[in-house]
Amino acid sequence: MMKTFLENLEILSMARGTSGDESAVRKLIYDEVLAYPDCIAKTDNAGNLIVSKKGKTQPKNKLMFSAHMDEIGFIITHIEESGFLRFSCIGSVDSRVIVGKRLLVGRNAIPGLLGSKAIHLVKKEEFDNPTKTSDLYIDIGAENREEAEKLVSIGDRAVFDSDFEKFGDGCVMGRALDDRAGCAMLMELLKEDAEYDFTVCFTTREEIGGNGAPAAAFGVDPDIAVVVEATTAGDYPCVPGDKFICKQGLGPVVSFRDNGTLYDMEIYQYIMELCGKENIPVQTKHGICGGNDAEAIHKARGGIRPVAVSLPARYIHSPYATLKISDMENTLALIKILSKNLCEL
Protein backbone atom coordinates (compact mmCIF):
# COMPACT_ATOMS: atom_id res chain seq x y z
CA MET A 1 0.00 0.00 0.00
CA MET A 2 1.37 3.40 -1.00
CA LYS A 3 2.17 5.77 1.85
CA THR A 4 0.68 9.24 2.18
CA PHE A 5 2.74 12.37 1.63
CA LEU A 6 3.19 13.09 5.34
CA GLU A 7 4.05 9.46 6.05
CA ASN A 8 6.80 9.58 3.43
CA LEU A 9 8.01 12.94 4.71
CA GLU A 10 8.35 11.65 8.27
CA ILE A 11 10.16 8.49 7.17
CA LEU A 12 12.58 10.46 4.99
CA SER A 13 13.17 13.09 7.68
CA MET A 14 14.12 10.39 10.20
CA ALA A 15 16.47 8.59 7.77
CA ARG A 16 20.21 9.25 8.03
CA GLY A 17 21.91 10.42 4.85
CA THR A 18 24.74 12.93 4.94
CA SER A 19 26.39 13.98 1.68
CA GLY A 20 28.11 11.02 0.05
CA ASP A 21 26.27 8.58 2.32
CA GLU A 22 22.71 8.75 0.97
CA SER A 23 22.14 5.01 0.43
CA ALA A 24 19.53 4.60 3.21
CA VAL A 25 17.46 7.49 1.87
CA ARG A 26 17.82 6.26 -1.70
CA LYS A 27 16.60 2.77 -0.74
CA LEU A 28 13.52 4.17 1.02
CA ILE A 29 12.58 6.18 -2.06
CA TYR A 30 13.38 3.33 -4.46
CA ASP A 31 11.31 0.78 -2.55
CA GLU A 32 8.34 3.17 -2.48
CA VAL A 33 8.36 4.33 -6.12
CA LEU A 34 8.54 0.73 -7.38
CA ALA A 35 4.83 0.54 -6.55
CA TYR A 36 3.97 3.65 -8.57
CA PRO A 37 2.51 3.22 -12.07
CA ASP A 38 4.68 3.59 -15.19
CA CYS A 39 7.90 4.31 -13.27
CA ILE A 40 11.34 2.88 -14.05
CA ALA A 41 14.08 3.60 -11.50
CA LYS A 42 17.85 3.25 -11.71
CA THR A 43 20.91 4.48 -9.84
CA ASP A 44 23.83 6.12 -11.63
CA ASN A 45 27.51 6.02 -10.64
CA ALA A 46 27.16 9.26 -8.65
CA GLY A 47 24.50 7.65 -6.45
CA ASN A 48 21.62 9.64 -7.93
CA LEU A 49 18.27 7.84 -8.17
CA ILE A 50 16.80 8.49 -11.63
CA VAL A 51 13.09 7.72 -12.09
CA SER A 52 11.54 7.85 -15.56
CA LYS A 53 7.79 8.41 -15.62
CA LYS A 54 5.89 7.31 -18.73
CA GLY A 55 3.09 9.61 -19.76
CA LYS A 56 0.33 9.44 -22.35
CA THR A 57 2.29 11.58 -24.80
CA GLN A 58 5.90 12.33 -25.68
CA PRO A 59 6.63 15.97 -24.79
CA LYS A 60 7.97 18.77 -26.95
CA ASN A 61 10.38 19.69 -24.12
CA LYS A 62 12.14 16.99 -22.14
CA LEU A 63 11.43 17.83 -18.51
CA MET A 64 13.43 16.93 -15.41
CA PHE A 65 12.52 17.48 -11.76
CA SER A 66 15.20 17.34 -9.08
CA ALA A 67 15.44 17.20 -5.28
CA HIS A 68 18.49 16.30 -3.22
CA MET A 69 18.58 13.39 -0.78
CA ASP A 70 21.55 14.44 1.35
CA GLU A 71 21.70 16.45 4.55
CA ILE A 72 24.29 18.30 6.56
CA GLY A 73 26.09 16.48 9.37
CA PHE A 74 29.49 15.50 10.68
CA ILE A 75 32.30 13.09 9.81
CA ILE A 76 34.67 11.64 12.41
CA THR A 77 38.27 12.68 11.72
CA HIS A 78 40.12 11.70 14.91
CA ILE A 79 39.63 9.74 18.12
CA GLU A 80 41.34 11.26 21.16
CA GLU A 81 43.14 9.15 23.78
CA SER A 82 40.36 10.27 26.12
CA GLY A 83 37.69 8.69 23.88
CA PHE A 84 36.29 11.98 22.64
CA LEU A 85 35.75 12.32 18.88
CA ARG A 86 36.98 15.15 16.69
CA PHE A 87 35.00 15.87 13.56
CA SER A 88 34.62 17.91 10.43
CA CYS A 89 31.33 19.39 9.25
CA ILE A 90 29.60 18.06 6.16
CA GLY A 91 27.98 21.06 4.51
CA SER A 92 27.34 24.44 6.08
CA VAL A 93 26.76 24.02 9.83
CA ASP A 94 26.18 26.94 12.18
CA SER A 95 28.32 26.34 15.27
CA ARG A 96 26.07 28.64 17.35
CA VAL A 97 23.18 26.15 17.34
CA ILE A 98 24.87 22.78 17.78
CA VAL A 99 26.54 22.79 21.22
CA GLY A 100 24.85 20.35 23.60
CA LYS A 101 22.75 18.71 20.86
CA ARG A 102 22.13 14.97 20.73
CA LEU A 103 23.61 13.04 17.82
CA LEU A 104 23.32 9.63 16.20
CA VAL A 105 26.88 8.49 15.55
CA GLY A 106 28.35 5.81 13.30
CA ARG A 107 26.81 2.95 11.39
CA ASN A 108 24.95 1.69 14.45
CA ALA A 109 23.53 5.13 15.32
CA ILE A 110 24.88 5.16 18.87
CA PRO A 111 23.91 8.19 20.97
CA GLY A 112 26.37 11.04 21.28
CA LEU A 113 26.51 14.66 22.36
CA LEU A 114 28.21 17.70 20.87
CA GLY A 115 30.38 19.12 23.64
CA SER A 116 32.34 22.31 24.22
CA LYS A 117 34.31 24.07 26.93
CA ALA A 118 32.32 24.58 30.16
CA ILE A 119 30.83 28.05 30.51
CA HIS A 120 32.92 28.97 33.60
CA LEU A 121 36.10 28.30 31.59
CA VAL A 122 35.16 30.65 28.76
CA LYS A 123 37.24 33.83 28.81
CA LYS A 124 35.48 37.18 28.79
CA GLU A 125 36.80 38.11 25.34
CA GLU A 126 35.48 34.82 23.92
CA PHE A 127 31.83 35.52 24.69
CA ASP A 128 31.37 37.82 21.69
CA ASN A 129 32.86 35.34 19.23
CA PRO A 130 31.00 32.31 17.82
CA THR A 131 32.40 28.97 18.94
CA LYS A 132 34.62 27.39 16.30
CA THR A 133 33.68 23.85 15.31
CA SER A 134 37.38 22.98 15.61
CA ASP A 135 37.02 23.59 19.36
CA LEU A 136 34.07 21.21 19.70
CA TYR A 137 34.02 17.44 20.12
CA ILE A 138 31.59 14.53 20.22
CA ASP A 139 31.10 12.67 23.49
CA ILE A 140 29.89 9.06 23.11
CA GLY A 141 30.52 8.13 26.75
CA ALA A 142 33.68 6.15 26.00
CA GLU A 143 36.34 5.85 28.73
CA ASN A 144 39.25 5.97 26.29
CA ARG A 145 40.26 5.56 22.64
CA GLU A 146 40.17 1.76 22.84
CA GLU A 147 36.56 1.80 24.03
CA ALA A 148 35.58 4.42 21.44
CA GLU A 149 37.13 2.40 18.59
CA LYS A 150 34.83 -0.50 19.44
CA LEU A 151 31.89 1.77 18.59
CA VAL A 152 33.04 4.12 15.82
CA SER A 153 35.72 4.44 13.15
CA ILE A 154 37.43 7.32 11.41
CA GLY A 155 35.17 8.36 8.51
CA ASP A 156 31.93 7.43 10.25
CA ARG A 157 29.12 9.95 10.01
CA ALA A 158 26.94 11.63 12.63
CA VAL A 159 23.60 13.42 12.31
CA PHE A 160 21.36 15.29 14.71
CA ASP A 161 19.06 13.07 16.77
CA SER A 162 15.80 14.85 15.94
CA ASP A 163 12.18 13.73 15.91
CA PHE A 164 9.50 14.58 13.35
CA GLU A 165 6.46 16.34 14.79
CA LYS A 166 3.39 18.34 13.85
CA PHE A 167 3.05 21.52 15.87
CA GLY A 168 1.34 24.90 15.99
CA ASP A 169 -1.01 26.06 13.26
CA GLY A 170 -0.44 23.47 10.53
CA CYS A 171 3.34 23.21 10.87
CA VAL A 172 5.85 20.38 10.98
CA MET A 173 9.35 20.26 12.42
CA GLY A 174 12.09 17.75 11.74
CA ARG A 175 15.62 17.05 10.63
CA ALA A 176 16.73 17.38 7.00
CA LEU A 177 13.48 18.87 5.70
CA ASP A 178 15.95 20.56 3.36
CA ASP A 179 15.47 18.69 1.11
CA ARG A 180 13.58 15.57 2.15
CA ALA A 181 10.40 17.64 1.75
CA GLY A 182 11.35 18.16 -1.90
CA CYS A 183 11.93 14.41 -2.26
CA ALA A 184 8.55 13.62 -0.70
CA MET A 185 6.75 16.04 -3.04
CA LEU A 186 8.39 14.54 -6.11
CA MET A 187 7.36 11.09 -4.90
CA GLU A 188 3.78 12.41 -4.84
CA LEU A 189 4.22 13.68 -8.39
CA LEU A 190 5.27 10.19 -9.51
CA LYS A 191 2.17 8.56 -8.02
CA GLU A 192 -0.27 10.00 -10.50
CA ASP A 193 -0.87 9.22 -14.16
CA ALA A 194 1.16 11.61 -16.31
CA GLU A 195 0.07 13.54 -19.37
CA TYR A 196 3.65 13.68 -20.68
CA ASP A 197 6.84 11.72 -20.08
CA PHE A 198 9.17 13.29 -17.50
CA THR A 199 12.09 12.32 -15.27
CA VAL A 200 12.64 12.81 -11.55
CA CYS A 201 16.17 12.85 -10.13
CA PHE A 202 16.85 12.36 -6.43
CA THR A 203 20.37 13.73 -6.25
CA THR A 204 23.41 13.33 -4.00
CA ARG A 205 25.98 15.66 -2.42
CA GLU A 206 24.07 18.93 -2.86
CA GLU A 207 25.17 20.20 0.55
CA ILE A 208 28.85 20.05 -0.42
CA GLY A 209 28.49 21.89 -3.71
CA GLY A 210 26.04 20.01 -5.89
CA ASN A 211 28.40 17.21 -6.88
CA GLY A 212 25.71 14.68 -7.83
CA ALA A 213 23.45 16.88 -9.93
CA PRO A 214 25.82 17.34 -12.92
CA ALA A 215 25.91 13.58 -13.50
CA ALA A 216 22.13 13.34 -13.27
CA ALA A 217 21.60 16.23 -15.68
CA PHE A 218 24.18 14.89 -18.13
CA GLY A 219 22.52 11.48 -18.15
CA VAL A 220 18.95 12.75 -18.51
CA ASP A 221 19.81 15.59 -20.94
CA PRO A 222 16.60 17.61 -20.38
CA ASP A 223 15.52 20.86 -22.02
CA ILE A 224 14.08 22.25 -18.77
CA ALA A 225 14.97 21.35 -15.18
CA VAL A 226 12.84 22.19 -12.14
CA VAL A 227 14.76 22.08 -8.86
CA VAL A 228 12.43 21.55 -5.90
CA GLU A 229 14.15 22.82 -2.75
CA ALA A 230 13.77 24.45 0.64
CA THR A 231 14.94 28.01 1.11
CA THR A 232 15.42 30.27 4.12
CA ALA A 233 12.33 32.08 5.36
CA GLY A 234 13.20 35.32 7.10
CA ASP A 235 9.88 35.97 8.83
CA TYR A 236 11.02 35.97 12.43
CA PRO A 237 12.20 38.60 14.95
CA CYS A 238 15.32 40.71 14.42
CA VAL A 239 15.30 40.25 10.63
CA PRO A 240 14.94 43.60 8.76
CA GLY A 241 12.28 43.82 6.07
CA ASP A 242 14.77 43.85 3.19
CA LYS A 243 16.20 40.51 4.44
CA PHE A 244 12.90 38.63 4.68
CA ILE A 245 13.70 36.63 1.50
CA CYS A 246 10.34 34.84 1.76
CA LYS A 247 7.61 34.11 4.29
CA GLN A 248 5.91 30.97 5.49
CA GLY A 249 2.24 30.63 4.60
CA LEU A 250 2.46 32.52 1.30
CA GLY A 251 3.01 29.46 -0.89
CA PRO A 252 5.92 28.27 -3.06
CA VAL A 253 8.92 30.49 -3.68
CA VAL A 254 9.97 30.96 -7.32
CA SER A 255 13.47 32.37 -7.84
CA PHE A 256 14.69 34.78 -10.51
CA ARG A 257 18.27 34.70 -9.18
CA ASP A 258 20.39 33.34 -6.36
CA ASN A 259 24.13 33.14 -5.65
CA GLY A 260 24.63 30.39 -8.22
CA THR A 261 22.05 30.83 -10.96
CA LEU A 262 20.34 33.40 -13.13
CA TYR A 263 17.05 31.66 -13.86
CA ASP A 264 15.27 31.56 -17.20
CA MET A 265 13.17 34.74 -17.13
CA GLU A 266 10.67 33.58 -19.74
CA ILE A 267 9.84 30.53 -17.64
CA TYR A 268 9.91 32.55 -14.40
CA GLN A 269 7.33 35.00 -15.74
CA TYR A 270 5.29 32.15 -17.23
CA ILE A 271 5.12 30.40 -13.84
CA MET A 272 4.05 33.56 -12.03
CA GLU A 273 1.25 34.11 -14.56
CA LEU A 274 0.27 30.45 -14.42
CA CYS A 275 -0.08 30.61 -10.62
CA GLY A 276 -2.44 33.57 -11.04
CA LYS A 277 -4.60 31.67 -13.50
CA GLU A 278 -4.67 28.54 -11.33
CA ASN A 279 -5.22 30.45 -8.05
CA ILE A 280 -2.04 29.05 -6.49
CA PRO A 281 -0.48 31.44 -3.96
CA VAL A 282 3.11 32.16 -4.94
CA GLN A 283 5.94 34.44 -3.86
CA THR A 284 9.24 35.45 -5.35
CA LYS A 285 12.55 35.07 -3.56
CA HIS A 286 13.56 38.55 -2.45
CA GLY A 287 17.26 39.18 -2.26
CA ILE A 288 20.19 37.38 -3.82
CA CYS A 289 21.29 34.60 -1.50
CA GLY A 290 21.77 30.87 -1.23
CA GLY A 291 21.94 28.39 -4.07
CA ASN A 292 20.96 24.88 -5.06
CA ASP A 293 21.51 22.15 -7.64
CA ALA A 294 20.33 24.45 -10.44
CA GLU A 295 23.83 25.98 -10.51
CA ALA A 296 25.31 22.68 -11.63
CA ILE A 297 22.35 21.48 -13.68
CA HIS A 298 21.90 24.47 -15.96
CA LYS A 299 25.51 24.23 -17.22
CA ALA A 300 25.34 20.53 -18.17
CA ARG A 301 25.75 19.39 -21.77
CA GLY A 302 24.62 22.17 -24.13
CA GLY A 303 22.82 24.09 -21.39
CA ILE A 304 19.52 23.46 -19.59
CA ARG A 305 16.81 26.02 -18.84
CA PRO A 306 16.65 26.23 -15.01
CA VAL A 307 13.70 26.71 -12.65
CA ALA A 308 13.73 26.75 -8.84
CA VAL A 309 10.55 26.14 -6.87
CA SER A 310 11.25 26.26 -3.13
CA LEU A 311 9.54 25.80 0.20
CA PRO A 312 9.95 28.62 2.76
CA ALA A 313 11.66 26.90 5.70
CA ARG A 314 12.82 28.26 9.03
CA TYR A 315 16.06 27.16 10.76
CA ILE A 316 17.51 25.04 7.94
CA HIS A 317 20.94 23.50 8.60
CA SER A 318 20.11 23.07 12.28
CA PRO A 319 18.78 20.17 14.38
CA TYR A 320 15.22 21.14 13.39
CA ALA A 321 13.72 22.94 10.42
CA THR A 322 10.07 23.95 10.19
CA LEU A 323 7.60 24.00 7.29
CA LYS A 324 3.93 24.84 6.89
CA ILE A 325 1.76 22.07 5.50
CA SER A 326 -0.18 24.61 3.39
CA ASP A 327 3.06 25.69 1.68
CA MET A 328 3.85 22.07 0.85
CA GLU A 329 0.33 21.51 -0.51
CA ASN A 330 0.51 24.59 -2.73
CA THR A 331 4.03 23.76 -3.91
CA LEU A 332 2.89 20.25 -4.81
CA ALA A 333 -0.05 21.70 -6.73
CA LEU A 334 2.36 23.93 -8.67
CA ILE A 335 4.83 21.21 -9.64
CA LYS A 336 1.94 18.99 -10.80
CA ILE A 337 0.80 21.77 -13.13
CA LEU A 338 4.37 22.37 -14.30
CA SER A 339 4.71 18.68 -15.22
CA LYS A 340 1.96 19.27 -17.80
CA ASN A 341 2.60 22.85 -18.94
CA LEU A 342 6.39 23.12 -19.23
CA CYS A 343 6.53 20.13 -21.52
CA GLU A 344 4.72 22.09 -24.22
CA LEU A 345 6.00 25.62 -23.47
CA atoms within 13 A on the CB side of 173: 12
Do 42 and 86 lie in a common domain? no
* Residue 150, domain CATH: 2.40.30.40
Residue type, 143: E
Flag whether 166 is in a domain.
no
Asked if residue 51 lies in contact with residue 335, where contact means CB atoms within 8 angstroms, the answer is no
Least confident of 35-49, 74-88, 276-290: 276-290
Flag whether 126 is in a domain.
yes
Q: What is the pLDDT of residues 260-293, one digit of tens each?
A: 889 999 999 999 999 999 999 999 988 777 789 9
Do 53 and 136 lie in a common domain? no
Confidence of residue 241 (pLDDT cuts 50, 70, 90): low
> What is the pLDDT averaged over residues 219-236?
92
Last residue in a domain, options 116, 136, 160: 160
Rounded to the nearest integer, the mean pLDDT of the chain is: 93
Do 257 and 310 lie in a common domain? yes
Helix ranges (H only) for 116-212 are: 145-149, 177-191
Confidence of residue 114 (pLDDT cuts 50, 70, 90): very high
Do 58 and 77 lie in a common domain? no
Do 247 and 99 lie in a common domain? no
Give dist(CA 37, CA 87) in Å, integer.
43
Do 134 and 195 lie in a common domain? no
pLDDT value of position 125: 66
> What is the pLDDT averaged over residues 241-264?
87
* Interior/surface letters 280-319, b for 16+ CB within 10 angstroms, e for the rest: bbbbebbeeebbbbbbbbbebeeebbbbbbbbbbbbbbbb
Percent of the chain with pLDDT over 90: 83
Q: Is 206 a catalytic residue?
A: yes
Total structural domains in the chain?
2
> What is the pLDDT averaged over residues 160-183?
97
Closest CA to 297 of 269, 331, 332, 261: 261
pLDDT value of position 41: 97
Flag whether 100 is in a domain.
yes
Flag whether 67 is in a domain.
yes
Do 279 and 330 lie in a common domain? yes
Confidence of residue 244 (pLDDT cuts 50, 70, 90): confident
Asked if residue 211 lies in contact with residue 293, where contact means CB atoms within 8 angstroms, the answer is no
User: What is this structure's pTM?
Assistant: 0.95
Do 232 and 98 lie in a common domain? no
Last residue in a domain, options 96, 130, 160: 160
pLDDT at 127 over 70: no
pLDDT at 128 over 80: no
Do 218 and 295 lie in a common domain? yes
List 206, 207, 229, 295, catalytic entry: 206
Least confident of 217-221, 259-263, 269-273, 294-298: 259-263
> What is the pLDDT averaged over residues 237-263?
84
> What is the pLDDT averaged over residues 287-302?
88
Do 224 and 331 lie in a common domain? yes
* Residue 265, domain CATH: 3.40.630.10
pLDDT value of position 116: 87
> What is the pLDDT averaged over residues 57-61?
94
Domain containing 262 equals 5-71+175-344
Confidence of residue 173 (pLDDT cuts 50, 70, 90): very high
pLDDT at 222 over 70: yes
Last residue in a domain, options 133, 160, 187: 160
pLDDT value of position 120: 65
Flag whether 263 is in a domain.
yes
Strands (E), 258-317: 283-284, 305-313
Do 20 and 53 lie in a common domain? yes
Give dist(CA 8, CA 241) in Å, integer.
35
Q: How far does CA 289 lie from the centroid of its chain?
A: 16
Do 33 and 181 lie in a common domain? yes
Confidence of residue 245 (pLDDT cuts 50, 70, 90): confident
